[in-house]
C-alpha cells in the first residue's frame, strides 16, 4: 500500500449494522476534510445574499482522483452496485440508458452490477435491450390494482424492493417512471426507505416531478442529488423559493435553492452544468455536442455511479486495515482525506462532499462522450452512440495500463 495513513481524525457515533452499511458509511465519511451532516447544515445557515461566483471545476483531476485502478483481486460488484427505479408501459428507454451507462463505467474498473426495478409491462422490453442488466418487474400501476388491493400491493412492492436495498451503493429514481398516482405513492415509500438506510439517491426525470411536489422526501438529506433540466429546475425554484428563475443571479439562486431544501446537491443541467450543495457553486463547461438528443440526462443519472467508485476505493483498503477493529472508520476517513482530497487549492474544502465530486465527474465524462459521438456521427448522433464512447472518455483520462 502506498504512503502512510494518518490517524488524526476519528468520527463520533459510528454504529455499523452490516457489511453493506459499513461500505456506505465508509463512503459517506463524515470527516472528509471537515464535511459532516451536522456542521454542513449549520454552515448553510450563514449563506449570504451576495453575488456567488461559479468556479470552473478541475474535472479531469476529479475523475483521476476517484477512479480506482484495475486489480485482478477485485470481485464482481466491488466497484459499485446500483439500482434504477423506473420504467413503465410508455417509457422503457430512459431506465435502460441510466442503467447501461452506469454498467459501462463500472465495468471499466471491474465486472459489476446494475439493476432496474420497473413495471411488468416494461420488464420484457428492457430485458430485450441487454442481457447484462438485472430486471425486476415488481412495480405496479393504477390500472392493474383494485382500490381494495392498493394497501397490500404497495406493501408488497416495498418489500420486494426493500429486500434488495441493502445491497446497493446508490439508487437512481425517476428515469421512465411516468406519473401514475399509485406508482408515485409506491416510489415515495422506496425513497423513504433508501433514506432510512443511508443510501445515496439520485433523482431525475419523473422522480423530480414527485420530489417537487413532496420536498420533504429529500429535505435535509445530504445523500440526495437532484439533476433537473431547464423546465424541471424552473418548477423546483417556483415550488421551493416561490419565485421565477433569475438568470442574472443564477449562481446565488442555485445555492439558495440547495440551502432551502436542506443541503441536497443540485446539478442544474444546461449549456454549462452548475452544481451546488449550498456551500459553493461549481461549473462544468467542457464542450459536449451541439446535437441534443433525448436520453442524455438519463446517461448523466447513471454516470453518478462514479460517486460509488470513490466509495469503493475507500472500501477496497478494508482488506489491509481490518485489524484496526473499531478504529477502521477513522482510518478510512483519514485515508480518504489524505489520498482523495487535493489540498493545494486546486480541489479544496468546498469539494470535500463526495456527492459534488460525483456530479462533476459524471457531467464532464458525459460531455466528453457526447463530443466524441458527434465527431463520429454528426447530425445523426443518438444517445446510444454517446453510450458507446463512455469507455473511451474515461480511458483517455484514466488509462487502464
Nearest-Å Rg of the Cα atoms of the chain is 20
**Residue 235 marked in a binding site:** yes
List strands edge to edge, sheet with 170-173: 54-56, 281-284, 273-276, 265-268, 224-226, 201-203, 170-173, 81-85, 113-119, 134-139
Residues 6 or more apart whose Cβ sits within 8 Å of residue 162: 193
C-alpha to C-alpha distance for 281 and 275, rounded to whole angstroms: 6
C-alpha to C-alpha distance for 116 and 133, rounded to whole angstroms: 7
Set out the domains of the chain in order of their start, with CATH numbers: 53-395 (3.40.1190.20)
**Residue 296 marked in a binding site:** yes
**Residue 150 marked in a binding site:** no
Question: Which residue is listed with cell 398516482?
Answer: 181
**Residue 234 marked in a binding site:** yes
Q: What is the pLDDT of residues 324-339, one digit of tens each?
A: 332 222 122 222 233 3
**Residue 186 marked in a binding site:** no
3-state secondary structure of 44: helix
**Residue 66 marked in a binding site:** no
Q: What is the pLDDT of residue 179?
A: 95
In angstroms, the Cα distances linking 155 to 23, 91, 138, 160, 190 are 27, 24, 11, 9, 10
Instruction: Kindly give the parts of the chain with pLDDT less than 70.
Output: 1-50, 66, 68-80, 105-112, 289, 291-352, 401
C-alpha to C-alpha distance for 360 and 368, rounded to whole angstroms: 12
Residues 6 or more apart whose Cβ sits within 8 Å of residue 367: 273, 284, 286, 287, 288, 289
**Residue 270 marked in a binding site:** yes
Burial string for 28-47 (b: 16+ CB within 10 Å, else e) reads: bbbbbbebbeeebeeebeeb
**Residue 292 marked in a binding site:** yes
**Residue 294 marked in a binding site:** yes
**Residue 298 marked in a binding site:** yes
Classify burial at 126, counting beta carbons within 10 Å of its beta carbon; exposed 0-12, middle 13-18, buried 19 or more.
Answer: buried
Q: What is the pLDDT of residue 77?
A: 55
**Residue 207 marked in a binding site:** no
**Residue 188 marked in a binding site:** no
Give the chain's length. 401
Burial string for 248-278 (b: 16+ CB within 10 Å, else e) reads: eebbbbbbbbbbbbbbbbbbbbeebbbbbbb
Q: What is the pLDDT of residue 73?
A: 62
**Residue 171 marked in a binding site:** no
Q: What is the pTM of this model?
A: 0.76
**Residue 80 marked in a binding site:** no
**Residue 233 marked in a binding site:** yes
**Residue 288 marked in a binding site:** yes
DSSP state of 275: E
**Residue 231 marked in a binding site:** yes
Q: What is the pLDDT of residue 71?
A: 65
**Residue 110 marked in a binding site:** no
**Residue 232 marked in a binding site:** yes
**Residue 376 marked in a binding site:** no
Q: Are 202 and 172 in contact (CB under 8 A)?
A: yes
Q: Are 180 and 86 in contact (CB under 8 A)?
A: no
Amino acid at each position: 500500500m502506498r504512503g502512510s495513513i494518518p490517524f488524526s481524525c476519528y468520527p463520533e457515533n459510528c454504529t455499523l449494522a452490516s457489511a453493506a452499511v459499513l461500505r456506505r458509511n465508509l463512503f459517506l465519511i463524515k470527516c472528509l476534510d471537515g464535511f459532516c451532516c451536522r456542521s454542513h447544515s449549520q454552515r448553510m445557515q450563514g449563506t449570504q445574499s451576495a453575488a456567488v461566483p461559479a468556479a470552473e471545476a478541475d474535472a479531469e483531476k476529479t475523475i483521476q482522483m476517484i477512479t480506482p485502478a484495475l486489480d485482478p483481486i477485485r470481485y464482481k460488484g466491488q466497484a459499485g452496485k446500483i439500482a434504477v427505479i423506473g420504467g413503465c408501459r410508455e417509457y422503457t428507454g430512459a431506465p435502460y440508458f441510466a442503467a447501461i451507462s452506469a454498467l459501462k463505467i463500472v465495468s471499466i474498473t471491474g465486472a459489476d452490477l446494475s439493476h432496474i426495478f420497473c413495471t411488468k409491462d416494461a420488464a420484457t422490453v428492457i430485458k430485450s435491450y441487454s442481457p447484462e442488466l438485472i430486471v425486476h418487474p415488481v412495480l405496479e400501476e393504477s390500472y392493474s390494482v383494485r382500490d381494495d388491493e392498493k394497501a397490500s400491493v404497495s406493501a408488497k412492492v416495498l418489500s420486494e424492493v426493500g429486500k434488495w436495498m441493502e445491497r446497493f451503493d446508490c439508487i437512481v429514481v425517476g428515469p421512465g417512471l411516468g406519473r401514475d398516482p399509485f406508482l408515485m405513492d409506491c416510489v415515495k415509500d422506496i425513497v423513504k426507505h433508501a433514506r432510512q438506510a443511508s443510501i445515496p439517491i439520485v433523482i431525475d426525470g419523473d422522480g423530480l416531478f414527485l420530489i417537487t411536489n413532496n420536498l420533504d422526501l429529500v429535505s435535509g438529506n445530504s445523500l440526495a442529488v437532484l439533476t433537473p433540466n431547464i423546465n424541471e429546475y424552473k418548477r423546483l425554484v417556483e415550488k421551493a423559493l416561490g419565485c421565477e428563475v433569475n438568470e442574472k443571479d443564477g449562481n446565488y439562486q442555485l445555492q439558495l435553492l440547495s440551502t432551502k431544501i436542506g443541503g441536497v446537491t443540485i446539478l442544474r443541467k444546461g449549456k454549462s452544468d452548475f452544481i451546488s450543495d449550498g456551500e459553493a457553486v461549481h461549473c462544468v463547461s467542457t464542450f459536449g455536442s451541439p446535437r441534443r438528443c433525448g436520453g442524455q440526462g438519463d446517461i448523466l443519472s447513471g454516470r453518478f455511479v462514479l460517486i460509488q467508485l470513490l466509495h469503493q476505493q475507500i472500501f477496497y483498503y478494508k482488506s489491509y486495515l481490518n485489524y484496526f477493529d473499531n478504529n477502521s472508520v477513522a482510518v478510512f476517513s483519514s485515508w480518504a482525506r489524505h489520498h482523495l482530497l487535493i489540498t493545494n487549492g486546486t480541489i479544496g474544502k468546498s469539494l470535500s462532499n463526495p456527492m459534488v465530486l460525483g456530479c462533476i465527474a459524471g457531467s464532464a465524462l458525459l460531455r466528453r462522450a457526447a463530443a466524441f459521438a458527434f465527431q463520429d456521427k454528426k447530425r445523426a448522433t443518438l444517445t446510444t452512440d454517446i453510450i458507446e464512447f463512455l469507455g473511451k472518455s474515461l480511458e483517455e483520462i484514466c488509462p487502464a495500463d
